[in-house]
Structure 1
Amino acid sequence: MRYARGMAPLNLQSLLNVVRRVHHGMTLGVRVMARDGEGRLLLVRHTYIAGWHFPGGGVDLGETAEAAARRELREEANVEAEGALALAGLFFNPRVGGRDHVALFHAERLAIGPRPARNTEIVAADFFPLDALPDGVSPATARRIAEWRQGLPPADRW
């Protein structure tokens, strides 16, 4: 059997490991609960899903979850998180393929640029007072806000 230099020959166990990894692989997304200096929450509306959500998206190959969270804040809302992000929880998201997870971060020190114009992904991005959240906040976002406001432990599902 010929194989590339430095690679072991493929055997049944390594083939099973590859199949298992593909079949049981996990996807990871991030969301950021970001608050400005007045305590207002940053929410975004996407073009492809209903409701208001925390900024976020998928973690790219070779990217850390925190780096993805920072990138999504910049891309979706023109906001830079200053200092470390705090991991608030890791949630199972059964509605996305049955193996998706969402890492939620908190960010409270922000450098806020001008609100971005509507684009192919984001319809709107803005900060809202806790007592005046917009209509249509997504159920998962509403759950995370309620847990945070009431000091409750986070549920395990997004």
Structure 2
Amino acid sequence: MSARRLEPRPAEKTRLIVRLFHLWFLFRRPMTLGVRGVVYDTQARTVLLVRHTYVAGWQLPGGGVEPGETMEAGLARELEEEGNIALAGAPELKSVHFNRQASRRDHVAVYLVANFRQTRPHTPDGEIAEARFFSLDALPEETTEATRRRLAEIFEGVPVSAEW
């Protein structure tokens, strides 16, 4: 019987690479700041959610703010990358949350984006499997709890939590 090494599947390999990068990132940049956008179509009462290729669930689009970048610039970049969304006006900062799931030093700013245009429909790529608008009263079952909480804080008047 020969010892055969099993190669990880592409998704497992991607998750491992993302985790290793995250650990490297924590050592390299001890304080992290992220942004998330609640891209809201006021006429249709729908919000944009994304499904990543490397983590489960539907989430608000966003990501890390890069060195030398403002939060709004980081938000604009992430929305373009993840949903082909271009800001057409100033986003409104709604809340900032401590994200202990990411690290002991991570914070996430949540912006409401009601003035935007979608430059083209999203096509799946290595990071985002899907990006779609959903009605606030018909979110996908796989929507993350943090996403549901942020939406409830903004649209239902639920008190804002200090934690993600």
TM over 0.5, shorter chain: yes
Q: Which residue of 1 aligns with 2:4?
A: none
> Is the CA contact (8 Å cut-off) linking 1:147 and 1:153 kept in structure 2?
yes
Structure 2: gaps (5+ residues): 1-26
1:125 aligned partner, one-letter code: A
Shift of 1:150: 1.8
Q: Which residue of 2 aligns with 1:27?
A: 32
Structure 1: gaps (5+ residues): 1-21
2:95 to 89, 108, 114: 89
1:98 aligns with 2:104: yes
Cα distance in structure 2, aligned partners of 1:34 and 1:63: 20
1:99-144 deviation digits (Å, cap 9, x = unpaired): 1000101100111122221100000001011111112001100111
> Is the CA contact (8 Å cut-off) linking 1:35 and 1:41 kept in structure 2?
yes
2:34 aligned partner, one-letter code: G
Q: Which residue of 1 aligns with 2:24?
A: none
Q: Which residue of 2 aligns with 1:55?
A: 61
Normalising by structure 2, report the TM-score.
Answer: 0.79
Shift of 1:32: 0.3
Normalising by structure 1, report the TM-score.
Answer: 0.82
4+ residue segments displaced more than 4 Å: none
Structure with higher Rg: it is 1
Question: How many residues of Structure 1 are paired with residues of Structure 2 in the alignment?
Answer: 137
Shift of 1:152: 2.5
Aligned-pair RMSD on alpha carbons?
Answer: 1.6
Q: Which residue of 2 aligns with 1:107?
A: 113
1:117 to 123, 140, 151: 123
